[in-house]
């Protein structure tokens, strides 16, 4: 296995590793370190069944069954289908997943560690890939905050809500997503997490807020919280922190949700097919570090 870092603070390419085969303990440990250090890992030229994608992903933690409960692989509900393809009048996947800045599962009591996406079809126009995924580096975003802001967010938590992103997509983007049911809302009630976390692998501090799910800063006057979150949302999405990943069919992309925020670019049409399969790894194992009694993020 070779790990080749790119020129941005995020991103590395991992070659000479066949993800359809069981991962050795050594390679697993090296990938955990590389993911913490580079935030986004690309594994080109892979050929995977849903079961093999599941098995690789499950080495890093428990896999999520998405709360929306839609577009799951038959018999493997932890493998979700992202696609704009319609077959016999029926969509085969969720067509507009992640099309605005967010962190996966920050709305969940046990947050996400790593998302593993496998590209089966990628839209292209004039030889260029479309539907890229952008990442922003939350270690760099934290480091470059003004000291006064670092002081104001130190020791603070923010409340995150699954419905914020879902309802925004319906309201502002004309999404075909159905309204969330009360049962869905009740399975994911709003939760609080530290605004600054200590990364469990690298020990680096990272800003843990995102425009998709963060509602307010707990225990702060609402107008002060709105103003501070607006500042953080603007700061964390500045282009200097952003790494744009252009997909090639056969890529597996794994990203660190504790280190990055991301968004999918909706620059392709309904007749330009995109098909990606997804496994979300929860942060239970990476945060436990061998213990079984602790799931919380270490706060600053």
What six digits make up the tokens of 166? Answer: 């879902």
What six digits make up the tokens of 229? Answer: 């979150």
Give the CB-nearest residue to ligand OGA.
98
* By CB under 6 A, residue 256 contacts ligand OGA: no
Q: CB 245 → ligand OGA: shortest distance, Å?
A: 8
- Answer yes or no: are the C-beta atoms of 90 and 97 closer than 8 Å: no
Q: Which residue from 36, 63, 79, 82 is in contact with ligand OGA, where contact means CB under 6 A?
A: 82
Nearer CB in complex with ligand OGA: 131/194: 131
* By CB under 5 A, residue 104 contacts Mn ion: yes
Element (H, E) at 200: none
- Answer yes or no: are the C-beta atoms of 46 and 72 closer than 8 Å: no
Mark 94-133 with x for binding to ligand OGA (rule: CB under 6 A) and - for no binding.
---xx-----x----------x-x---------------x
**CB-based contacts of 65: which residues, under 8 Å, 6+ apart?**
72, 77, 78
Q: What are phi and psi of 64, to 5 degrees?
A: -75, 145
The 10 Å Cβ neighbour count of residue 158 is 25
Tell me how many residues contact ligand OGA (CB under 6 A).
Answer: 11
Q: Which residue from 135, 278, 282, 300 is in contact with ligand OGA, where contact means CB under 6 A?
A: 278
What six digits make up the tokens of 150? Answer: 């670092």
* By CB under 5 A, residue 212 contacts Mn ion: no
* By CB under 5 A, residue 194 contacts Mn ion: no
Nearer CB in complex with ligand OGA: 262/285: 262
Give the CB-nearest residue to Mn ion.
98
133-192 residues near ligand OGA, rule: CB under 6 A? 133
Alpha helices in the chain (DSSP H): 25-38, 50-58, 138-143, 147-153, 162-172, 182-187, 222-236, 284-288
Q: Which residue from 11, 98, 123, 211 is in contact with Mn ion, where contact means CB under 5 A?
A: 98
Which of ligand OGA, Mn ion, none is residue 133 near (CB under 5 to 8 Å by kind)?
ligand OGA
The owner of tokens 């428990």 is 62
The 10 Å Cβ neighbour count of residue 73 is 18
Where do contacts with ligand OGA occur on this chain (CB under 6 A)?
82, 97-98, 104, 115, 117, 133, 262, 264, 276, 278
Where do contacts with Mn ion occur on this chain (CB under 5 A)?
98, 104
């Amino acid at each position: 296995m070779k790990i080749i870092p790119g020129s941005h603070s995020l991103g590395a390419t991992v070659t000479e590793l066949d993800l359809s085969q069981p991962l050795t303990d050594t390679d697993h440990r090296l990938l955990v370190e590389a993911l913490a250090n580079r935030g986004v890992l690309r594994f080109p030229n892979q050929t995977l069944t849903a079961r093999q994608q599941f098995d690789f992903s499950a080495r890093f933690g428990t896999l999520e069954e998405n709360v929306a409960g839609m577009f799951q692989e038959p018999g493997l509900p932890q493998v979700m289908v992202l696609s704009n393809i319609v077959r016999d009048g029926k969509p085969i996947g969720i067509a507009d997943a992640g099309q605005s800045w967010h962190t996966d599962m920050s709305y969940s009591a046990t947050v996400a560690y790593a998302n593993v996406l496998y590209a089966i079809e990628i839209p292209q126009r004039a030889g260029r890939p479309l539907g890229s995924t952008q990442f922003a580096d939350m270690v760099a975003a934290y480091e470059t905050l003004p000291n006064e802001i670092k002081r104001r967010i130190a020791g603070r938590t923010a409340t995150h809500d699954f419905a914020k992103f879902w309802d925004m997509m319906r309201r502002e983007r004309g999404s075909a997503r159905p309204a969330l049911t009360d049962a869905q809302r009740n399975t994911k009630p709003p939760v609080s997490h530290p605004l600054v976390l200590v990364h469990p692998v690298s020990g680096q501090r990272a800003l843990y807020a995102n425009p998709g799910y963060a509602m307010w800063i707990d225990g702060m006057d609402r107008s002060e919280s709105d103003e501070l979150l607006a500042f953080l949302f603007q700061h964390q999405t500045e282009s200097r922190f952003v790494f744009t990943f252009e997909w090639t069919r056969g890529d597996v992309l794994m990203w660190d949700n504790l280190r990055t925020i991301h968004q999918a670019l909706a620059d392709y049409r309904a007749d330009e097919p995109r098909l990606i399969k997804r496994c979300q790894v929860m942060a239970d194992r990476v945060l436990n570090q061998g213990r079984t009694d602790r799931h919380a993020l270490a706060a600053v």
